[in-house]
Amino acid sequence: MTAKTFGKGALLALGLGAMAVPVYAAVGQEHDHSAHEHAGEAADASGEALTAEQVTASRALFSTYSCGACHVLSDAGGNGHIGPALDGNDGLSVDYVKQIVSNGQGAMPSFGGMVSDEEIDTLSRYIVQNRAD
């Protein structure tokens, strides 16, 4: 018996289906962002702090693309356990997150072409700056 492989089309369909999964745990709940009210004051390795508007936009992207259905990121209300947890993940760098978000890896779909490079950069910086310890 031979193993079947899936083409890019099947993986894309799988990834798009995963993105459509709503984040049920976040529906109807208020998320306490008080611990991160000064998130714009934190800087990543590049030394560039995010503005409050960038933090808000990144939280919205994280929600819109249902990232929290697979990943734990407390600041954005993400509590999924399919993909790696972003909270407490000290191995994350902005460049690494950008590469994974842009190109995908494993079951995670590529968001390059769906989301602008600027949004991916800002989201990646947000994830690295706002992951809980």
Weakest-pLDDT range from 36-45, 49-58, 83-92, 106-115: 36-45
Give the pLDDT of residue 94: 96
Q: What is the dihedral of CA 121, 96, 44, 42, to 10 degrees?
A: 80
Tell whether 1 is covered by a domain. Answer: no
Distance CA 23, CA 97 (A): 21
Mean confidence (pLDDT) of the chain:
76
Domain count, the chain: 1
Whether the per-residue pLDDT at 109 is higher than 80: the answer is yes
Residue 32 inside a domain? The answer is: no
Mean pLDDT of 50-74: 95
pLDDT of residue 46: 57
pLDDT band with cut points at 50, 70 and 90 for residue 47: low
CATH number of residue 63's parent domain: 1.10.760.10
117: which DSSP letter?
H
Can you give the residue range of the structural domain that contains 97? Answer: 40-130
Dist CA 65 CA 93 (whole Å): 21
